[in-house]
């Protein structure tokens, strides 16, 4: 599947990114060698997904170091990268991870960024195994119908995936009957990216509108929902792509598990609750396409929502599973 596709890769003179804006029609790469180009790529969602952004931010520090020797200009460039998308905590965490190596030069930063990439791939494999074990222990050892929202696969990480990593692990065990992939408005990461990954992996799937998700769950057509996360507060509140909260509410009403799969780096212990998570507002034009609304209409376009901890059955990280709704939160586990 996407083991043979690298979402983020250092080429020796710059960063090579899969251009996720042209998927699924074309698999193309964007070579980035300047901070301006990197910030633009992050903003346009050429690269997206919290773990992938963390790795990208780490390599971005090396680009900034190679671009200028002036300390003030370098610091300003790094700050621009760090703030390019405010909700996904991994972007800032990736930058901060390599900053202590900046005084030793770009090569030292690159080595640490590569170490972060390798850790992400190993961690995603562990997330897949922990998540599959937890789900099967509660749903029975049988083929499952899984609902997922947005894209938390290899394209959102350095490899394998978080939420889709769990799905892929279940598939390798012969325990996937069907995956319902929410299309995910307004940029369709579910239908463009998740469906692309599932198809390449040979995993059976159906794309559905976001508005159909709650009905699918309440009709008893799904056994579990598994999503990723962009930031998780200390109390377990989870910020993810807009529409995730509706999935969680439907799971609670139907009595099925709502599982969040994300690396520990997505946890922000400085945010006591989800109220402290900044919610990115994107351009109104993304949902006001010609013919879709009256001329002069305005739009409210939040990119993320926050699911309260009480609705999160389990948080699966590379270190294990926290049953958030039972009061086992990131804050209490550390």
Residues labelled as active-site residues? 230
Return the half-sphere exposure (C-beta side, CA atoms, 13 A cut-off) of residue 202: 5
Question: Which residues, listed in sequence order, are joined to residue 232 by a DSSP beta bridge?
Answer: 238, 267
CA distances from 53 to 118, 144, 170, 276 (A): 14, 31, 26, 20
Cβ–Cβ under 8 Å, residues 282 and 215: no
289: buried, middle or exposed (CB in 10 Å: 19+, 13-18, 0-12)? exposed
283 is written with which tokens?
């351009």
Angle, CA of 171, 326 and 264, to the nearest 5° = 55
Cis peptide before 140 (omega within 30 of 0): no
């Amino acid at each position: 599947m996407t083991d043979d596709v690298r979402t983020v890769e250092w080429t020796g003179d710059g960063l090579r990114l899969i251009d996720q804006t042209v998927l699924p029609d074309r698999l193309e790469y964007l070579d980035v060698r300047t901070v301006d180009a990197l910030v633009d790529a992050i903003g346009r969602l050429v690269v997206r997904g919290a773990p992938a952004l963390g790795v990208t931010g780490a390599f971005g520090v090396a680009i900034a170091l190679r671009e200028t020797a002036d300390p003030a200009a370098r610091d300003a460039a790094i700050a621009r990268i760090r703030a390019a998308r405010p909700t996904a905590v991994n972007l800032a965490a990736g930058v901060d991870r390599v900053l202590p190596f900046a005084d030793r030069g770009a090569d030292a930063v690159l080595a640490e960024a590569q170490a972060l990439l390798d850790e992400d791939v190993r961690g995603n494999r562990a997330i897949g195994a922990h998540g599959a074990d937890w789900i099967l222990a509660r749903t029975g050892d049988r083929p499952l119908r899984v609902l997922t929202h947005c894209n938390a696969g290899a394209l959102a990480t350095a490899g394998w995936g978080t939420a889709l990593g769990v799905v892929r692990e279940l598939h390798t065990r012969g325990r996937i009957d069907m995956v319902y992939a929410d299309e995910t408005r307004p940029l369709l990461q579910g239908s463009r990216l998740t469906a692309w990954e599932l198809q390449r992996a040979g995993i059976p799937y159906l794309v559905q509108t976001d508005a159909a998700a709650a009905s699918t769950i309440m009709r008893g057509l799904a056994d579990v929902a598994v999503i990723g996360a962009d930031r998780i507060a200390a109390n377990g509140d989870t910020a993810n792509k807009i529409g995730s909260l509706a999935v969680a509410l439907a799971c609670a009403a139907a009595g099925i598990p709502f599982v969040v799969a994300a690396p520990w780096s997505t946890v922000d212990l400085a945010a006591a609750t989800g109220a402290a998570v900044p919610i990115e507002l994107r351009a109104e034009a993304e949902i006001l396409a010609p013919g879709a609304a009256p001329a002069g209409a305005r739009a409210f376009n939040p990119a993320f929502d926050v699911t309260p901890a009480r609705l999160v059955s389990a948080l699966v990280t590379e270190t294990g599973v926290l049953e958030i709704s039972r009061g086992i939160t990131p804050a209490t586990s550390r």
